[in-house]
């Protein structure tokens, strides 16, 4: 089993500039947000309520969108419009 510091030193998200974390306010989602931020990725996340989205923005999440419909695609942009880094990874934590 890898030691935690070894995993972080062996894996870099620098080639993954934008990450979308679904259910970003759950236990695993919060950990994923923090790890991705620490690795230098721009993090977008979804959450089910306005209060949870505000919490994510307070953590420095670039974009927080609703998780109960597909509107997050337009809000996050998924890099399709060319106005931000391309979305390369999506963590679906449900």
Q: Which CATH architecture has domain 20-92?
A: 3-Layer(aba) Sandwich (3.40)
The whole-number pLDDT of residue 74 equals 77
The whole-number pLDDT of residue 19 equals 86
pTM recorded for the entire structure: 0.75
Residues of the chain with pLDDT under 50: 1-8
Per-domain boundaries in the chain: 20-92
Tokens at 27, concatenated: 């236990």
Tokens at 18, concatenated: 């934008």
DSSP per residue, 7-67: HHHH---TT--EEEEETTTSHHHHHHHHHHHHTT-EEEEEESSHHHHHHHHHTT-SEEEES
Task: Report d(CA 16, CA 3) in Å as an integer.
Answer: 23
């Amino acid at each position: 089993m890898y030691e935690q510091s070894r995993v972080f030193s062996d894996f870099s998200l620098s080639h993954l500039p934008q990450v979308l974390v679904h259910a970003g306010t759950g236990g695993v989602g919060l950990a994923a947000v923090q790890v991705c931020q620490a690795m230098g990725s721009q993090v977008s996340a979804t959450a089910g309520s306005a209060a949870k989205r505000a919490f994510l923005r307070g953590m420095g999440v670039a974009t927080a969108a609703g998780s109960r419909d597909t509107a997050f695609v337009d809000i996050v942009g998924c890099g399709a419009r060319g106005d931000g880094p391309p979305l390369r990874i999506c963590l679906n934590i449900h």
